[in-house]
Amino acid sequence: MDLDTASANDHDPRAAAAIDDLPIFPLPNAVLFPNTLLPLHVFEPRYQQLLQRIMEGDKRLAIALLAPGWEPDYYGAPPIHPVMGLGEVISHNQLSGGRSNILVRGLARVRLVQEHHTALEYRTVRALIERTRAAPNDGLARHLATVRQLFAHVVTRIPQVSLDDAEVLFQEGSDPEQVLDAIASATPGPSARKQALLEERCVEQRALLLADLLADVAGGTFGGATGES
């Protein structure tokens, strides 16, 4: 997985407080964090239609993690977690049969407010940008140091991450929230735990959750990286 630590949450003028008519792309095992990149293969007709629409507009969509119990209604409107990753398609490679490979850049966290009922094959929602709660600098600094130490221990086991890309995450002065989201995106683990990291608004608590996940990876709890597309 590529790491992109350029800020998008606070400086993207399109990331307004409320977003209406936002297309969602529900997936069983993908969580999109701000300032990270997520490659996806689009093959279902409804999501081909979604992609065509957004590529003609602002190229934005939300990646939503399917909630437990989604399987029987997958081709309908299965339940989703209310906090999603707002993203922008920055690369689109058209394939045969209407399929596409795309690369989505995370812009922000958004929270579902209302789902629209439309005649479209895909789902659209009204969502609000999820703002982060500030944390005391001293506590956050300690937890961030722990996260970095644990990530340094496991990064060579993560084939999607190059050491060159990871170096920026250890630089002094890097934005703590961006560092945490980039490491959370790159770290293998259950989608439910990644969703918990996406939903946690307190940056200090997010660092604690991420440290726990990294400790499990370091201890061999998970056998390898999980698929995200």
The fraction of the chain above a pLDDT of 90, given in percent, is 71
Three-class SS of residue 94? strand
Three-class SS of residue 59? coil
What whole-number distance in Å separates Cα of residue 101 and Cα of residue 12?
Answer: 24
Report pLDDT for 3: 53
The string of pLDDT tens digits covering residues 105-132 is 999 999 999 999 999 999 999 999 998 8
Do the bridges between strand 60-65 and strand 18-27 make them parallel or antiparallel, or are there none, so unpaired? Answer: parallel
Confidence band (pLDDT; 50, 70, 90) for 222?
low
Residue 221, pLDDT > 80, answer no
What is the pTM assigned to this prediction? 0.87
Domain 18-129 bears CATH identifier 2.20.25.10:
no
Report pLDDT for 136: 65
Report the chain's mean pLDDT, rounded to a whole number.
Answer: 88
The string of pLDDT tens digits covering residues 168-207 is 888 888 899 999 999 999 999 999 999 999 999 999 999 9
Confidence band (pLDDT; 50, 70, 90) for 225?
very low
- Distances in whole angstroms, Cα of residue 95 to Cα of each of 39, 101, 192, 228: 15, 7, 31, 20
Confidence band (pLDDT; 50, 70, 90) for 135?
low
